[in-house]
Amino acid sequence: AQSVAQPEDQVNVAEGNPLTVKCTYSVSGNPYLFWYVQYPNRGLQFLLKYITGDNLVKGSYGFEAEFNKSQTSFHLKKPSALVSDSALYFCAVRDNRNSGYSTLTFGKGTMLLVSP
């Protein structure tokens, strides 16, 4: 069974500093990996995804993530955090065996708090 771990419930960073939100995964076969962000009282918004190709994926709002197959990780990064980045971040994975019974598995989420 596939699984996703986000080891930090909360990440605190000062505005202007780089940020990292960690994600590790377990899946059979090669993974499809995603990051979504949830602002208060709203649904999730897509940030970026890795399907294949370049291990460094660039997404919305200046975020990027690096796929590391040997470490089974897909950490989310941003060079310079903004207060407006404060939100709940979810990592998600599904395997790409093209099975009709594949599901999408989310991590429990990491709250990012950016202080002014």
Number of residues that bind another protein (CB under 8 A): 26
Task: Judge whether 92 and 106 are in contact, CB under 8 Å.
Answer: yes
Instruction: 5-9: list long-range contacts, CB under 8 Å, 24+ apart.
Output: 5/107, 6/89, 6/90, 6/91, 6/107, 6/108, 6/109, 6/110, 8/110, 9/108, 9/110, 9/111
Nearer to another protein, 11 or 109 (CB): 109
Among 49, 73, 82, 86, binds another protein (CB under 8 A): 49
Name residues contacting another protein, limited to 96-115 (CB under 8 A): 96, 98-109
Using rule CB under 8 A, residue 46 touches another protein? yes
Interface ranges with another protein (CB under 8 A): 32, 34, 36, 41-46, 49, 51, 90, 94, 96, 98-109
